[in-house]
Structures are given as structure tokens and as C-alpha cells.
Amino acid sequence: MNKPLERLYNGIIKENPTFVLMLGMCPTLAVTTSAINGIGMGLSTTVVLALSNLLISILRKVITDRIRVPSFIVVVASFVTMVQFLLQAYVPAIYSALGIYIPLIVVNCIILGRAESYASKNPPIPSLFDGIGMGLGFTCSITIIGAVRELIGSGTVFGFNIIPIKDVAAGTHGYIPISIIVLAPGAFFVLGIIMAIINRVKLNNIKKGRKVYEANCKESCFGCPHSNICLNSASETKVINSNKANE
């Protein structure tokens, strides 16, 4: 369970933060206008995630339970500020393309989620690899989304021309880019269709009787990282409804 390789596999495939757990949606939609932006955002998040997991895991016996969330936030925010400076100094192009979404790595639910559910309970080395695995899983998925959007929206991937573009001035025939895909609505469409494909695979698995994730926990599903892949999970508003009922 705690072997470094197993953590990497878990983060990249089994519990992929974007496609399986559906965490960190804001950067996923916002920065994936091109594959290179996806990689930039993904790697920055990976660095923050790995280092904050490591530090939180080292400090896990010092931080008391009551103040753990503010402490986690301070740790994460410090690393985000460092990454922000590094990007500004060495890759200003990426820095300006990602803009406000770099400081917003702080509120990315993947990072606090991993700190809470893994790093605060496990030794430093597995936590470091858990962070790297989750980060790489995130990087892979948003690079894939970025590449799809870039390919459909402007006919290129990583800035290289893949499909010959129709050029009226030069009189060449070719592909007319569907530019709405790189604009805001396209982000929703692409992610929606990807989600539908994943649902389809999941439904097929259930039909064939393959094993799907089923937790036997009694806690509320709200905020549970597995709520999207778990059969027991009811609606997302379960907590709110139960709170309402208590009043």
C-alpha cells in the first residue's frame, strides 16, 4: 500500500484526480486552451503538491488536530508563492499565460484533499510519492484535455501544426479551425464529452459485473474523495439536506 511505485500508479491511473475523482475543476477548464499551458499548470501543481505533502507529513505529529486546516493552508500558500516567483523569473511566457490561476493553486481541492486524507496520516516518503503521483495524474489529464482543445480549436498540438489549415489568402485547402473550442464554452463541452465517455466505460464495467469501487464507510459522502467512483454515494447535496433536516 505504501510503496512509492504503488503510490505513483494510484495517482496517475487508479485515482486520477481529474477523470476519476473530479477534483480541481477550475484550473482544468481554465488553463487548458493549449497543451503547453496544461503542462505548465500541471507541473507547477505537482511541485506544490509533492513539497507540501512532504512537509505536512514531516510536521504531522506537531500540528494539532484543531488547527490543522489553517496550518495546511499556510504550508501550501508558501510553496505556491515560491513557485510563482520561480515561474515569473524563468518562464515568463507561461507565467503570463496562466495568470491568476497560479496563486489559485492554493485553493485547488486536490492539494488540501491529499494533505487531509493522506499526508497527515502517513510517513514522509510515501507522502512525497503520493504527491508526485497525484500531480503527474493531474498533469497528464489536463495536458490531454489541452491537446484535444488545441487540436480541434487551432489545428496544432504543442504549437506544431498537425492538420493543414485552410488559408484563404494563399488559396490552400484544408481544415477550418473550430475556434469556439479554445474559447470558454469549448472547455465545458470538451470536459462534458470526456465525462460522458468515462461514464460509458463505467456503465459497461458495471454491466459486465466487474468490480467497481464500493466503500463500506458510514461517513457522509460530501467531501469524500471517492464520492464520484463510489456506488454508495448519493447526491452531492446530502450534507446540506441533512443539515436542513436537523434544524
Partner 1 sequence: MKTVLVVTLGAAIVNNVVLSQFLGLCPFLGVSKKIKTAAGMGGAVIFVMTLASLVCSIIDKFILKPANLEYLNTIVFILVIAALVQFVEMFLKKNVKSLYNALGVYLPLITTNCAVLGIAIKNAQTGYNILLSTLNGTFTAAGFAIAIIIMAGIREKIEYNDYPESFKGQASVLIAAGLMAIAFFGFSGLI
Among 2, 3, 13, 74, binds partner 1 (CB under 8 A): 74
| CA quadruple 149, 155, 157, 162: dihedral sign | positive
- CB proximity list for 10: less than 8 A, separation 6 or greater: 130, 133
Binding of residue 77 to partner 1 (CB under 8 A) = yes
CB atoms within 10 A of CB 63: 16
Binding of residue 236 to partner 1 (CB under 8 A) = yes
Q: Which is nearer to partner 1, 109 or 163 (CB)?
A: 109
The Cα 1–Cα 13 span in angstroms is 15
Binding of residue 84 to partner 1 (CB under 8 A) = yes
Residue 179 half-sphere exposure, CB side, CA atoms within 13 Å? 1
Binding of residue 205 to partner 1 (CB under 8 A) = no
Helix axes 68-90, 35-58, angle to 10 degrees: 140
Q: Which is nearer to partner 1, 59 or 104 (CB)?
A: 104
Binding of residue 124 to partner 1 (CB under 8 A) = no
Interacting residues with partner 1 (CB under 8 A): 22, 25-26, 29-30, 69-70, 73-74, 77-78, 80-81, 84-85, 100, 103-104, 106-109, 112, 180, 183-189, 191-193, 195-197, 199-200, 203, 235-237, 239-240, 243-244, 247
